[in-house]
Amino acid sequence: MTNRPDWPEYYMGLARSAGARGDCTRRQVGAIVVHDHHVYGTGYNGSVRGSTLSCLKGGCPRGKHYNKMPMGSDPYCACGNAVWPCPDYVEPGSSYETGPGACIAIHAEQNALIDALRHGLPPGGSMYVTEQPCDACFRFIWQCQLHAVFWTHPMGYLPGHVSGMSNPFDSVPGA
């Protein structure tokens, strides 16, 4: 008897490995795109290719200003400011795309799809990702004609998936 992983476990393991390369102080997300048991693309969250900015090196406002509170001490900002909240702190729930808290990273799902398209991804296929995709990534996934998305560590929810995807944006008012 062997402990050989089944295909979904294998793919999720690859996604976790890709996520270990994530260039973010807050989380490492990995994604892979497969079609007919062939891996077409891998991705992790990180700075734009060739950029001198890096979240791990303090280039992202969200990754630079967050509450650090060691046991038994007063809270302070990760940037070194002794006052909490730091004047440059980015409020939770604020936009990742615009304003002072704009994230400098490309999401793992986007990087995996870009890589897969570079390698000739045909319509169909599936994505395995270590966290539940955001709405923008779901739109991108839909546009690339994947038929299923699987995740293991969604944002506060049970593991899940969407398969046999129909356009999730058909019912959006004004769409």
Q: Which residues are catalytic?
A: 109
Q: Which helix (H) or strand (E) holds 141?
A: helix 135-143
Work out the end-to-end distance of the chain between its first and last CA atoms, rounded to an integer number of angstroms: 52
Contact assessment for residue 44 and residue 19, using Cβ atoms and an 8 Å cutoff: yes
Q: If you search the block for the tokens 């769409």, which residue do you land on? A: 175
Q: If you search the block for the tokens 């046999």, which residue do you land on? A: 164
Number of Cβ within a 10 Å radius of residue 7: 11
For 167, the token pair is 């356009």
Q: Where are the alpha helices (DSSP H) in the chain?
A: 7-19, 61-64, 108-118, 135-143
